[in-house]
Amino acid sequence: MKDAGVQLNVYTYSIVIDALCRSGKTTRPYDVFSEMIDVGCQPNAITFNNLMRVHVKAGRTEMVL
């Protein structure tokens, strides 16, 4: 994203995490989340909701609680 000139902020990271979750990826959203934290971007409630969706879709609801 950075190479394409996209401004990286909580909204762009949350959108990417959401897209990965919706496409059935189970580990890549956490890679993006780690990158987000590493660059100093603070996640918000939407970010965490998107990450919880990964576990719900995978049937791992105990990870959400």
Letter string b/e over residues 6-15, b meaning 16 or more CB atoms within 10 A of that residue's CB: eeeeeeebbe
Residue 40 maps to a domain = yes
Q: How many domains does the chain have?
A: 1
28 in any annotated domain? yes
Residue 47 lies in a domain: yes
Q: Which of 39, 28, 37 is nearest to 50 (CA)?
A: 28
The structure's pTM equals 0.81
User: What b-and-e string marks burial along 23-43, b requiring 16 or more CB atoms within 10 Å of the CB?
Assistant: eebeeebeebbeebeeeebeb
2 found inside a domain: no
| pLDDT, one tens digit for every residue, the chain (65 residues) | 777 788 899 999 999 999 998 898 888 999 999 999 999 999 999 999 998 888 887 777 777 76
> Does residue 5 lie within any of the structural domains?
no
Within-domain flag for 19: yes
